[in-house]
């Protein structure tokens, strides 16, 4: 699936992943109104609104991008109906040929991590049959519990030819609280990155330069990105924090390898709530998906300029 | 809810939480057979088997214990039908008067952590109404992303009078890989524990000695438990790793305060799969819930002996 991701990036010429993290305040009134008219102001109504919102955006941008990253928390907060729409979104995006990164940040130990891995990337056995629970292509994984927590994911990745992105240096302001603390002269995130490189060496596809084990390093920390790019040469880096969180195109160059690959940049509200920004306000609420399309094109050009490809 | 947990512990005289982490291999054949007869060998069939298994155990032990800890991964692996049974289990246990700790190990940043907090502990707004998504009493939280990830949970805890247990030192063999690394002469988990104490000081109930912010410290690391007990005097400690993972009753004394409170010890497969152990094999598969009841009583006595209460 890492090779599928790379093929999609080459085809679209856009190392971009659109974060499908719908907050209800991003959803246009006309969508909410229709959903609540059908299902009432209920969890089902809210979930339907998220689904229609997502579908509009995916239909408008799927030819421009290689991948999407639905953030499960935004669905999970609406309970079972919300999670059903998470799954519907994953399935729909895959039908459209998009690679799907489930931003689930799961991580536990032993058989518990195995259950998460099976549920999100693999097949669960039921009697003599087996089923995909959620069936994303990649998921994000939290490393705090060490190898016991990550290796069950790696096992499923090898079986299914899918992948993970391990949290190394996150994009948020307080990420330094623990991640930047020095251990033997190096920050914790660098130790985690070294483990990512070691885990990844055991989990390479049959052909290709990149491992099934990738990493998350925030666009808001470009200098750290430069270092981590070298520490984990075979890890694809998922880069959050571009746009709304303050990461600029010019910050991104350090995250890429000389082959022009090795990173994929996420933008969530910068794309999905583009119509709420002054720059795209002219589209109006009804044409929110067109505003998202314009924002994807602008992001693609910003990144291409930063990488010296225009 | 921390005071409810303490009241339940006093009432049962058992600082025990039963981990409802059902692996399919723990579920007796007669339950699986009935569930598959009704729903087929499907995700729905698997979920029904987990539900009937859980219900049997909860009915057999609910008068003996203060709390349960369903591990969401074991349900999530069966997709939406599995998660529906997670919710059904949470609701049923609450009806029985048990405190429910959702072992979800979530953690993200900003609005995303807020969504998890709202979904598992709080109410989500839908138009002019609001709804509980999963409605546990406590959840476990991963601290790797720092205060940005934890504070949204604390905000919801204060509003709902619910609680969290932050992962400090986990019970698994590789927990030391990152958690034990020395930072300024102290292991990472101790720095996390200091933050737990600081976060907890901001989030105390109106009366009582313990904060809404607790911690997870594994029974397999009793020496670390002794230190962390002092670092976080007002944090209730959730102690996994007793029983199957190797933690013994005699290891537990360090996790408690002088008031005899301050810790609650988890056992999962040691209780729910007791009938599969030699010691309880005489109960037979049909009476698996009675075996679980006997195992709870034995655990209660083991802990009481270790704490010098017999």
A202-250 confidence digits (pLDDT tens): 999 999 999 999 999 999 999 999 999 999 999 999 999 998 777 788 8
Q: Where are the beta strands (DSSP E) in A170-223?
A: 182-183, 186-187, 213-217
User: Which of A124, A171, A172 minimises the CB distance to B77?
Assistant: A124
How is chain A split into domains, by residue range? Answer: 2-306
**In Å, how far are A58, A206, A259, A269 from A20, measured between CA atoms?**
9, 31, 28, 8
Report in angstroms the alpha-carbon separations of A4 from A23, A100, A156, A162, A208.
29, 11, 17, 10, 11
What average pLDDT does the structure give for chain B? 96
Percent of chain B scored above 70 by pLDDT?
Answer: 100
pLDDT digits (tens, 9 = 90+) for A151-173: 999 999 999 999 999 999 999 99
Instruction: Share the mean pLDDT of chain A.
Output: 96
CB-CB under 8 Å, B179 with A183? no
- Determine the average pLDDT of the residues in B107-123: 96
Give tens-digit pLDDT for A107-136. Answer: 999 999 999 999 999 999 999 999 999 999
Domain B2-305 maps to which CATH number in 3.30.70.270, 3.20.20.70, 1.10.606.20, 3.90.980.10?
Answer: 3.20.20.70
Under the banding of pLDDT at 50, 70 and 90, the label for residue B144 is very high
pLDDT at A177 over 70: yes
| Closest partner CB to A108 (pick from B41, B105, B118) | B105
Which tens digits make up the pLDDT trace of B69-97? 999 999 999 999 999 999 999 999 999 99
The pLDDT score that the predictor gives to residue A186 is 96
**Catalytic residue chosen out of the listed positions A94, A96, A105, A123:** A105
* pLDDT, tens digit, 9 for 90 and up, residues A260-288: 899 999 999 999 999 999 999 999 999 99
Report chain A residues whose CB lies below 8 A from the CB of B110. Answer: 172
pLDDT grade for A310, boundaries at 50, 70 and 90:
low
A94 and A137 Cβ atoms separated by less than 8 Å: yes
For residue B159, give both structure tokens.
């509003």
Task: Render pLDDT for B216-261 as a digit per residue (tens, 0 to 9).
Answer: 999 999 999 999 999 999 999 999 999 877 778 888 999 999 888 9
Q: pTM higher than 0.80, yes or no?
A: yes
Q: Of A206, A180, A205, A204, nearest to A193 (Cα)?
A: A180
Select the residue of A74, A77, A108 nearest B73 (Cβ to Cβ). A108
| pLDDT > 90 fraction of chain A, expressed in percent and rounded | 93
Q: φ and ψ at A247, to 5 degrees?
A: -70, 135
pLDDT per position as a tens digit, A53-85: 999 999 999 999 999 999 999 999 999 999 999
Shortest Cα distance from B259 to chain A (angstroms)?
31
In this structure, the number of other CB atoms found within 10 A of the CB of residue B265 comes to 27
- What residues of B are in contact with residue A21 (Cβ under 8 Å)? 112
Q: What is the CATH number of domain A2-306?
A: 3.20.20.70
Answer yes or no: do B142 and A71 touch at CB < 8 A: no
E-strand stretches of A98-243: 99-106, 123-126, 129-132, 138-141, 163-169, 182-183, 186-187, 213-217, 237-239
When pLDDT is averaged across residues B38-67 and rounded to a whole number, the result is 98
Q: Which two tokens stand for residue B77?
A: 């692996």
Tokens of A99: 């690679």
Q: Are strands B129-132 and B163-169 parallel, antiparallel or unpaired?
A: unpaired
Q: Is A186 a catalytic residue?
A: no
Inter-residue contact B303 to B12 (CB < 8 Å): no
């Amino acid at each position: 699936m890492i090779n599928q991701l790379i093929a999609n990036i080459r085809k679209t010429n856009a190392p971009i992943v659109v974060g499908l993290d719908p907050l209800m305040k991003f959803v246009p009134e006309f969508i909410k109104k229709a959903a609540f008219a059908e299902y009432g102001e209920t969890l089902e109504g809210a979930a339907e609104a998220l689904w229609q919102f997502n579908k509009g955006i995916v239909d408008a941008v799927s030819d421009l991008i290689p991948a999407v990253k639905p953030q499960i928390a935004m669905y999970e907060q609406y309970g079972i109906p919300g999670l059903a729409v998470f799954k519907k979104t994953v399935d729909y995006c895959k039908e459209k040929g998009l690679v799907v990164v489930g931003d689930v940040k799961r991580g536990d130990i032993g058989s518990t991590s195995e259950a998460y891995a099976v549920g999100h990337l693999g097949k669960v056995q039921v009697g003599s049959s087996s089923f995909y629970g959620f069936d994303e292509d990649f998921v994000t994984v939290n490393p705090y519990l060490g190898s016991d927590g990550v290796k069950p994911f790696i096992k499923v990745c090898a079986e299914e030819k899918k992948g993970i992105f391990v949290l190394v240096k996150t994009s948020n302001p307080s990420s330094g609280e623990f991640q930047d603390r020095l251990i033997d002269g190096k920050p914790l995130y660098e130790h985690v990155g070294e483990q990512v490189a070691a885990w990844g060496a055991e989990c390479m596809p049959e052909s290709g330069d990149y491992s099934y084990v990738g990493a998350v390093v925030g666009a808001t920390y470009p200098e750290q990105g430069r270092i981590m790019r070298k520490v984990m040469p075979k890890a694809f880096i998922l880069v959050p924090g571009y746009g709304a969180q303050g990461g600029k195109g010019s910050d991104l160059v350090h995250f890429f390898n000389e082959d022009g690959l090795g990173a994929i940049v996420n933008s969530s509200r910068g794309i999905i709530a583009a119509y709420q920004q002054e720059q795209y306000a002219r589209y109006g609420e009804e044409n929110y998906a067109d505003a998202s399309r314009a924002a994807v094109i602008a992001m693609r050009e910003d990144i291409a300029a930063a990488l010296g490809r225009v």
